Structure 1
Amino acid sequence: MTDQEPSPIRRLTSYAHGGGCACKIPPGELESVVEGLRFTGPSNPEAELLVGLESGDDAAVVRVSGDTALISTADFFTPVVDDAYDWGRIAAANALSDVYAMGGRPVSAINLLGWPRDVLPFELAAEVLRGALDIAHSAGCHVAGGHSIDDPEPKFGMAVTGLVHPDRILRNNTGRAGRPLTLTKPLGVGILNNRHKTTGEDFPHAVASMTALNDRTSAQAVQGGVECATDITGFGLLGHLHKLARASQVTAVLNSAAVPYLEGARTSLRAGYVSGGTRRNLEWVRPHLDSSSVTEEELLLLADAQTSGGLLVVGEIPGHPIIGELIPAAETGKTIMIK
Structure 2
Amino acid sequence: MTQSEKIKLTTLTTKGGCGCKIGPSDLAQVIRMLPPAVPNSNVLVGLETSDDAGVYRLTDDLAIVQTLDFFTPIVDDPYSFGQIAAANAISDIYAMGGKPITALNIVAFPISKLDKSILADILRGAADKLAEANVALIGGHSIDDKEPKFGLAVTGMVHPEKVRANSHAKVGDKLILTKPIGVGILSSAIKNGLLQNDEIERVTKVMATLNKVAAEIMEPYEIHACTDVTGFGLLGHASEMAKGSNVGLRINKSDVPVLPRVREIAEMGIIPGGTKNNYAHLQDVVTFPEKMDQVDQWILCDAVTSGGLLISVAEEKADELLTELINAGVEASIIGEVIAEHQGKIEVK
The answer to whether the superposition gives a TM-score over 0.5 is yes
Is contact 2:182–2:262 with CA below 8 Å preserved after alignment?
yes
State the one-letter code of the partner of 1:265: V
Alpha carbons of structure 1 residues 239 and 273: separation in structure 2 relative to 1, 3 Å? same
Is contact 2:170–2:224 with CA below 8 Å preserved after alignment?
no
CA positional deviation for 1:209: 0.4
CA positional deviation for 1:10: 4.4
* Structure 1: unaligned runs, 5 residues or longer: 1-5
What residue in structure 2 maps to residue 328 of structure 1?
Answer: 340
Report Cα offsets for 1:20-45 as digits up to 9, x if no partner: 5xx11000111221235572227xx6
User: Which aligned pairs between 1:92-241 and structure 2 lie closer than 5 A?
Assistant: 92-199=86-193, 201=195, 202=197, 203-241=200-238
Alpha carbons of structure 1 residues 155 and 120: separation in structure 2 relative to 1, 3 Å? same
What residue in structure 2 maps to residue 14 of structure 1?
Answer: 11
- How far, CA to CA, are the matches of 1:31 and 1:117 in structure 2? 34
- How far, CA to CA, are the matches of 1:73 and 1:265 in structure 2? 30
1:298 aligns with 2:326: no
**Residue 199 of structure 1 aligns to a residue in which SS?**
coil
What residue in structure 2 maps to residue 308 of structure 1?
Answer: 306
What residue in structure 1 maps to residue 280 of structure 2?
Answer: 283
What residue in structure 1 maps to residue 75 of structure 2?
Answer: 81
Question: Which piece of structure 1 moves more, 231-240 or 311-320?
Answer: 311-320
- How far, CA to CA, are the matches of 1:143 and 1:97 in structure 2? 16
**Residue 228 of structure 1 aligns to a residue in which SS?**
strand
What residue in structure 1 maps to residue 54 of structure 2?
Answer: 60
Alpha carbons of structure 1 residues 290 and 334: separation in structure 2 relative to 1, 3 Å? farther
Alpha carbons of structure 1 residues 200 and 130: separation in structure 2 relative to 1, 3 Å? farther
Say what the alpha-carbon RMSD is for the aligned residues: 1.8
- How far, CA to CA, are the matches of 1:141 and 1:163 in structure 2? 12
Report Cα offsets for 1:247-305 as digits up to 9, x if no partner: 11111111000000111212111222211111111011122111133221111110111
- How far, CA to CA, are the matches of 2:94 and 2:52 in structure 1? 9
- How far, CA to CA, are the matches of 2:203 and 2:261 in structure 1? 10
Which of these residues, 263, 266, 271, is aligned with residue 263 of structure 2? 266
CA positional deviation for 1:329: 3.8
Number of residues paired by the alignment?
326
State the one-letter code of the partner of 1:295: D
Is contact 1:251–1:335 with CA below 8 Å preserved after alignment?
yes
**Residue 322 of structure 1 aligns to a residue in which SS?**
strand
- How far, CA to CA, are the matches of 1:314 and 1:171 in structure 2? 10
Which of these residues, 14, 24, 29, is aligned with residue 27 of structure 1? 24
Q: Percent identity?
A: 41
State the one-letter code of the partner of 1:307: T
1:338 aligns with 2:332: no
With structure 1 as the length reference, what TM-score do the two structures score? 0.92
With structure 2 as the length reference, what TM-score do the two structures score? 0.89
